[in-house]
Homo-oligomer: A and B are copies of this chain.
Amino acid sequence: MVQCLPHTLDLSFAALADATRRGIIVRLGRGDASISSLAEAFQMTLTGMKKHVQVLERAGLVVTQKVGRVRTCRLGARGLAAEAEWIEAHRALFEARFAALDDIIDEIEEGSHD
């Protein structure tokens, strides 16, 4: 279950690697928003915001729907489950490494007695 298509994680981690896009996620968490309201909130052109939303959409983090002339953006159903799963699964690696390192340090300190 830990194993998932690398492609998906590539897209979603890349999407999260930008402060504006993380801000968009936070904003959409408080309610759906149009492209233009997001553009205004983040002081950016419509075109620029549309690109950010597209990045989030390709990553599955946001879905959009156009009604009339307004495109409404909302958080995607996929959520952050896959990303949370990868990070949690690999956090253990770091901790295990440091447990091992601590043992080594203990050994060194016991050996030196300074």
Are A13 and B16 touching (Cβ within 8 A)?
Answer: yes
* Chain B contacts for A74, CB-based, 8 A: 97
Contact of A93 among B10, B25, B83, B93 (CB under 8 A): B25
CA–CA, A76 and B95, complex, Å: 10
Contact of A10 among B17, B29, B77 (CB under 8 A): B17
Q: CB within 8 Å of B: which of A58-106?
A: 74-77, 79-81, 83-84, 86-88, 90-91, 93-98
Q: Check A114 for interface membership: any CB of B closer than 8 A.
A: no
Q: Hey, which bits of chain A sit against chain B, CB under 8 A? A: 6, 9-11, 13-14, 16-19, 22, 25-26, 28-29, 74-77, 79-81, 83-84, 86-88, 90-91, 93-98
